[in-house]
Structure 1
Amino acid sequence: MGHRFPNGATVGELQDVMRQVLDAARDADLALDTFKGLTNAERDHLVACRLVSPDFEWTLPGRALLVDARRSLSVMVNEEDHLRIQSLSAGWSVSASDAEARACLDALSSRLPFSFSPEFGYLSASPFNCGSGRRRSAMFHLIGLAQSKRLPAVLTALSAMGVSVRGLFGESSRAIGAFVQVSVLELAQTEFAGACEYLLREERESRTLVPRETLTEKSTQARDFAVSSRSLSLADALRVLAWIRWASVSSLPGFPSSPRAADAALTTLDIRGTMGEEHAARQRADALRAALGA
């Protein structure tokens, strides 16, 4: 785009990039809400919904976030790169997300010049992301593999396929509560789908190896802990949610009838505690009690 990457750009360059992107989105008639500034509550909610990166420096000049009405598509301006487009969909529906992101990219690329090198492909602030400029990711709940002690072997097999495994909030985060992201940069969609199908099969098989009595005991302990707690760390909240979700999938009495209750609670947790960790810990406890109907 004729500008240095965000980590080396001047304020003027960043603001110029932002104007170009916003103008292109408007000219393309993309139905996106634009946020040039966010309250702490808005920012925390969008991070929890995976619509914005936890590391997005939204208070700095030249930053903007564009989000669609369904909250399934977001465009970060001047995050690590000048432009980062994300599309999210529920369930195993990578093709739907791919089509939505591609439509947005096509609309913007017809109005914006992108830096391309015949040797390296599309250029990025990180050399690891050069090339196609596309990452496919899926989030999994691998509590069965974790409990049956099979998770390390499965992750090693995924690595051999060229699939990286990261924590719930992406790069550098840990897989707390057995919530993980698997992602690829260069594999074709069919290969990525095959890797994910392998992971689904292994997880389903592993869940059959854990006795129902063990599931009932640990889920009940997690539920009782959440109900009696008035504040929870993020790690504790995720561990509790992991057991609530599995109990719901298994239709255990005393738990939500659908795992979607746990999924919804996951998007309301205060991740970074921008209003203070004490406030965040209370909010997490309230969210889990609400999910449990307590």
Structure 2
Amino acid sequence: MELNELTNASGEWLRGAGPESDIVISSRIRLARNLADFPFLSRATEADRAAIEQILQDTISKLIEEKKLDPNTLYIKVGDIDQLDRMFLVERQLISRELADATGARSVVIDPQERYSVMINEEDHVRLQVMQSGLNLQAAWEQVNRLDDLIEEHVVYAFSDRLGYLTACPTNVGTGIRVSVMLHLPALVITRQIEKVFKSLQKISLAVRGLYGEGSQAMGDFYQISNQITLGLTEEELIAKVADIVPVLIDYERQARDFLIRESHETLHDRVSRAFGILRTAQTISSEETMHLLSSVRMGLNLGLISDLQIPTINKLFVHTQPAHLQKLAGNDLDSAARNIERATYLRRHLDGNKPNGPTQN
């Protein structure tokens, strides 16, 4: 399998399937691990980094030979690909910006269906992440736990009987687990309840981040909810903590959507129709405006205000209209103005023939 084969495909988290998928885009579990025989990356030499990368590459190769991993598993040395391909992988949520922007020996292992990726030499020696469409944390945990066990058959992790897994960042010490759920919450944003929800989450030690994780903005009304600490709780307890709060957030969003339908139906329908109209007819459009308008359209589709359009199509457009994806799809580098034109063309091509439903009487 080659990197370019991912360009036209849609990964696991874009399927638009799974429980509560109208609001929950994806469930992700990430594990941070380090090899016992090497220092943390902040103190590692270039030789250390290269040795870590080689050990883990050999491990992945053995797992493929043993038929424990898909033979089409993709192994990419991130330092060997250009900036456009690195940003493509960031937009795809297969690597972090930190791994893309780092220097020295570093790699990523990618499942052909994009259900998991393994980052090598990011903040820790190993970062495993598994993604499931919709609200499906248990399935994500089972998969990442299996992957972790497979790798640990061939390497020795840095582990303390008192502290648990040792990690570069103190907030990850213990289980090394980060449990996160990506939600689409446009109605809470429109009704101006989103800040109140965030403050409540912070009180119970849950972090709120944007589409691309730590330090990113909440584009398109997408928010990632995750645990902030890992020490002192088991993996199952941390998963349960996030799993217990997500249905509450889903209920808040549904209530806000019901309120908008009930109290502001014409205004909501106008918002969705205008957004859809701009996306279908624009000759040039920025990434930020596209995300904002697609958010309204996705909500409108889930509320029955738009016909003949599928959620996976909208989910794909959120990603495929990002700068690196557009350039990969176009087959050449584009400056900002050219990207805006190409983005509008791409949107018209994929949305042509669809239309909003007519307003209904309440």
- Tell me whether the two structures share a fold, i.e. TM-score over 0.5: yes
Q: Distance in 1 between matches of 2:41 and 2:285?
A: 36
- Aligned residue for 2:292, secondary structure, equals helix
Q: Distance in 2 between matches of 1:282 and 1:10?
A: 45
> Does the alignment pair 1:245 with 2:298?
yes
> Does the alignment pair 1:214 with 2:267?
yes
Letter of the structure 1 residue corresponding to residue 315 of structure 2? D
Q: Distance in 2 between matches of 1:78 and 1:45?
A: 19
Letter of the structure 1 residue corresponding to residue 257 of structure 2? R
Give the 5 Å matches for 1:27-106. Answer: 27-29=62-64, 30-31=69-70, 32-36=73-77, 37-40=80-83, 42-57=85-100, 60-106=103-149
Give the 5 Å matches for 1:260-279. Answer: 260-271=312-323, 275=333, 276-279=335-338
The CA deviation at 1:235 is 1.9
The CA deviation at 1:39 is 4.7
Point out where structure 1 has 5 or more consecutive residues left out of the alignment.
none
Normalising by the residue count of structure 1, what TM-score does the alignment of the two structures yield?
0.90
Match of 2:24? none
Aligned pair in 2 of structure 1 residues 7, 222: CA closer, same or farther (>3 Å)?
farther
Match of 1:18? 53
Q: Distance in 2 between matches of 1:225 and 1:247?
A: 14
How many residues align structurally? 293
The CA deviation at 1:120 is 3.5
The CA deviation at 1:280 is 3.9
Aligned pair in 2 of structure 1 residues 213, 48: CA closer, same or farther (>3 Å)?
same
Match of 1:168? 211
Contact 1:270–1:283 (CA<8 Å) still a contact in 2? Answer: no
Instruction: Pick 1 or 2: higher relative contact order, CA cutoff 8 A, min separation 6.
Output: 2
RMSD value, Cα: 2.3
Match of 1:293? 352
Match of 1:150? 193
The CA deviation at 1:92 is 1.1
Aligned pair in 2 of structure 1 residues 265, 77: CA closer, same or farther (>3 Å)?
same
Normalising by the residue count of structure 2, what TM-score does the alignment of the two structures yield?
0.74
Letter of the structure 1 residue corresponding to residue 195 of structure 2? P
User: Deviation per CA, 1:7-66, whole angstroms, max 9, x where unpaired?
Assistant: 332221111101111111222232221112335554344322211113323773311111
- Aligned with 2:287 (options 219, 234, 242): 234
